[in-house]
Homo-oligomer: A and B are copies of this chain.
């Protein structure tokens, strides 16, 4: 890695630094390799540690680096494509998907979710927690809210809260005709519990995918899935296994 002096340009140092580091990552490092520690790197580039960290943060945000406290900074593999399927496709849990049902309880939905469900906020719902693992890494944590009306068979059942009950709810759900779904994606930061499940620190950037499932002329379920933004590229359609970046920046300039 070069130790080129930073010129005195109006461009912020951390920005320039990020560019230099990104080029070094492409040319001189391979996936999984560990970088020198932050103090050494800062000294090598003649900047304060905070400035260096600003550059590293951006690179981590872009999925180029992975930093772990007590361990070090490593070169991250290209983001993995995570398939979200096509709309109007299927219920959660259909087929051989990568989700692991973790738990299920009855609870009141948050008001925002109740509104999406077109449900009385005082009405309890089934809350299924699932997590998704891809290539040995946790990539998403989901809260799936299911109206009791959608799975009437379960109302009287006292299955013990836990994975078994979660699977029972999903099974019942799949007996309904799925009439459609709609989705939205936005940037958020991980809540403490999601962060833990995703093996990140609280506040880590995540992609929040909200899906509404329609059946019987109403909203039967709402899923709020939290994907690691640093390691995941959400794919729709059949482009899941196509490599887009290949080391270089995803937005390499044209001209």
Known: A185-B233, A239-B184. A15 touches B253 (CB 8 A): no
Q: Which residue of B lies closest to A183 (CB)?
A: B236
Q: Which residue of B lies closest to A185 (CB)?
A: B234
Q: Chain A interface mostly helix, strand, loop or mixed?
A: mixed
> Does A58 sit within 8 A of B, measured CB to CB?
yes
**Chain B residue contacts of A234, Cβ below 8 A:** 184-186
> Does A32 sit within 8 A of B, measured CB to CB?
no
**How many identical chains are in the complex?**
2
Complex Cα distance A111/B251, Å?
Answer: 11
Which of these binds chain B: A34-42, A132-140, A201-209? A201-209
* A250 near B112: Cβ-Cβ < 8 Å: yes
Instruction: Kindly identify, within residues 197 to 255 of chain A, every residue whose CB is under 8 Å from any CB belonging to chain B.
Output: 202-203, 205, 207-208, 210, 212, 224, 226, 229-230, 232-239, 242-246, 248, 250-255
**Chain B residue contacts of A86, Cβ below 8 A:** 87-88
* A58 near B187: Cβ-Cβ < 8 Å: no
- A56-92 interface mask toward B, CB cutoff 8 Å, 1 = contact, 0 = none? 0010011100000000000000010100001110000
* B15 near A237: Cβ-Cβ < 8 Å: no
Closest CB of chain B to A114's CB: distance in Å? 11
* A182 near B236: Cβ-Cβ < 8 Å: yes
**Chain B residue contacts of A63, Cβ below 8 A:** 186-187
Known: A143-B254, A255-B107. A207 touches B185 (CB 8 A): yes
Known: A203-B58, A237-B87. A253 touches B183 (CB 8 A): no
**Chain B residue contacts of A205, Cβ below 8 A:** 61, 187, 205
- Can you list 27 A-B pairs, Cβ within 8 angstroms, ordered by A? A15-B202, A58-B189, A63-B187, A79-B186, A87-B87, A87-B237, A105-B255, A109-B254, A110-B248, A113-B254, A116-B242, A116-B244, A181-B237, A182-B238, A183-B235, A183-B236, A183-B239, A184-B236, A184-B244, A185-B233, A185-B234, A185-B236, A186-B234, A187-B205, A187-B229, A224-B250, A224-B251
